[in-house]
């Protein structure tokens, strides 16, 4: 698929991996809707700096009406239908797996609602336009936690396993729209400082645990969006 001139939405696009995906899409000539829920200033600055037309748009992926309004706003602002979607928005809490009592029902509800059901809401909102046109590409951001079944918390790992299952189901259910996923390991982004204890972050930044470059993951996202031969693929990117 030729990406230049197409319109994309990147959820959680204001910082970290999402921001790097937006930059690389902009360099490819893609018009980008930079979604954010909290990082307003970062998203607006990023949108203004991209190499192609872009707009920052706020939406909480837990709210279906906001997701649908985001799609309409981006299509109006950028003058075309959404043909590319990157589901990158995500949250977690840091709780070692053996500490079952430290995980609350609210943790489960929030993490699944943002990471998994939020991905579903965004796909549903764009698929209604993609399917009649017979074209479109979606990449969902999972984690290599789906391979190792280890991560920041049990709800986080379960949410990412669910994203892989959702990706593979949707690849058949909404074909010829293509649906793929990336499953990266630890990345050094502001997400670490927000959700991970300082001692764990320090160990990662010392190199005690392997990390993967944000630019490498973003390039793979863009590759999957463009690759007309790929659907239902889960691309693992670790150390």
Among all residues, which ones are annotated catalytic? 156
Q: Is 104 helix (H, G, I), strand (E, B) or coil?
A: coil
Residues whose CB falls within 8 Å of the CB of residue 159, separated by 6 or more in sequence, listed in order: 90, 111, 112, 115, 116
CA atoms of 175 and 136, how far apart (whole Å): 9
CA atoms of 178 and 224, how far apart (whole Å): 9
CA atoms of 221 and 25, how far apart (whole Å): 9
């Amino acid at each position: 698929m030729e990406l230049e001139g197409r319109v994309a939405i990147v959820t959680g696009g204001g910082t970290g991996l999402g921001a790097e995906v937006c930059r690389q899409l902009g360099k490819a000539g893609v018009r980008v809707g930079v979604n954010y829920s909290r990082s307003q200033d970062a998203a607006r600055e990023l949108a203004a700096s991209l190499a192609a037309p872009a707009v920052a748009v706020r939406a909480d992926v837990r709210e279906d009406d906001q997701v649908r309004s985001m799609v309409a706003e981006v299509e109006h602002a950028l003058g075309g239908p959404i043909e590319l979607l990157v589901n990158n928005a995500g949250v977690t809490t840091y709780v070692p797996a053996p500490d079952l009592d430290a995980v609350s029902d609210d943790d489960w509800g929030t993490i699944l609602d943002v990471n998994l059901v939020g991905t579903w809401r965004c796909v549903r909102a764009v698929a209604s336009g993609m399917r009649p046109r017979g074209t479109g590409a979606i990449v969902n951001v999972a984690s290599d936690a789906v391979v190792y079944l280890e991560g920041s918390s049990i709800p986080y790992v379960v949410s990412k396993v669910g994203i892989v299952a959702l990706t593979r189901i949707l690849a058949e259910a909404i074909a010829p729209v293509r649906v793929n996923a990336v499953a990266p390991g630890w990345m050094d982004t502001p997400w670490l400082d927000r959700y991970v204890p300082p001692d764990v972050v320090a160990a990662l930044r010392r190199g005690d645990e392997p990390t993967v470059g944000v630019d490498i993951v973003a390039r793979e996202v863009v590759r999957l969006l463009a690759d007309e031969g790929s659907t239902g693929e889960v691309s693992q990117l670790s150390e």
